Amino acid sequence: MWQGFCEHLKECGRNGGPFCFALVAVLCLGALGDWGVAVLAALLVAGICWVWASIAEQRQKYGKLGKMPPLSENELNRARSKLVNRAKH
């Protein structure tokens, strides 16, 4: 039974992770009752906070980069020739 279950999860690809999370959630709710609901809610809130903090950190890093300096004539010519050569192939 478990071998078939694992094979099915391999076929699911990305959707296997959320399914496993939902399975663990249902088992926690069934085994721990109201206390399980509280633990699951706390984990969910912690996960959302972590994702939010990660996104905010990435946005700050992007904001610190500032505007890129303009390209020189030589760099512009090189970029144009690369684009023209790619369009021909």
Tell me: the pLDDT tens digits for 32-83?
A: 777 777 877 888 899 899 999 999 998 888 777 777 788 899 999 998 998 8
How high is the pLDDT of residue 46?
92
Q: What is the pTM of this model?
A: 0.45
Helical segments of 1-89, H only: 2-12, 16-32, 34-65, 73-88
5-14 confidence digits (pLDDT tens): 767 767 766 6
- The reported pLDDT for the residue numbered 59 is 87
pLDDT at site 89: 64
CB 19 within 8 A of CB 12: yes
C-alpha distances (whole Å) from 42 to each of 16, 62, 68, 77 are 22, 30, 42, 56
Domain boundaries, the chain: 1-32, 37-89
CA distance 80 to 51: 39
